[in-house]
Structure 1
Amino acid sequence: MTETEESVSQVLLKFLIRIATMSLRKQTPSDFLKQIIGRPVVVKLNSGVDYRGVLACLDGYMNIALEQTEEYVNGQLKNKYGDAFIRGNNVLYISTQKRRM
């Protein structure tokens, strides 16, 4: 086996091990939500409006409290709020932001 083939084999093996490990770590939505408290998130509403801020807390009904909140309509910043409360029945999804606010 050449050095290049050996290198490719090692990379492939590491990749397969990582995939196997990921499949063993099943994460529930509750686990995910607990992990993102205190982190920057995007909350998309059924109306299409986005709220971006730091997730302060949430409950079983998906009621969400955000800090350092910004409201985006059609991708454009419309308002800034210190704290915001979003009623859970309006939430389409919640996701993490890559960068810190």
Structure 2
Amino acid sequence: MAYGSALAVLADPTRREVFERLRAGARPVNVIAAGMPVSRPAVSQHLRVLKDAGLVEERSEGVRRMYSVRREGLAELRAWLESFWGDALDAFVLEAERSYKAKRKRKK
């Protein structure tokens, strides 16, 4: 149930903002923290939680650490969310078929 962990981690609005700042690509912590209402060390803590949840990865680039979204970390969350779409479509098909059959029955 990795999607549960991802949901719990992304429930925090500051952490979600940190995560969204990585949408455009890899960033160092000072760039991520720029303009945020929390300190750079706090952003580092949020990045650590995101990394532990498998949503973010880091790599060294010289003396800097670059953080980026770990796309594989989103795969299970995405699959879980998409399962709702599949369920909704299945329910729609069933209702459309039921409605069609009822309409045909009334015409007879």
User: Normalising by structure 1, what TM-score?
Assistant: 0.26
Q: Which has the higher contact order (CA 8 A, sep 6+)?
A: 2
Q: Larger C-alpha radius of gyration, 1 or 2?
A: 2
Structure richer in helix, relative to its length = 2
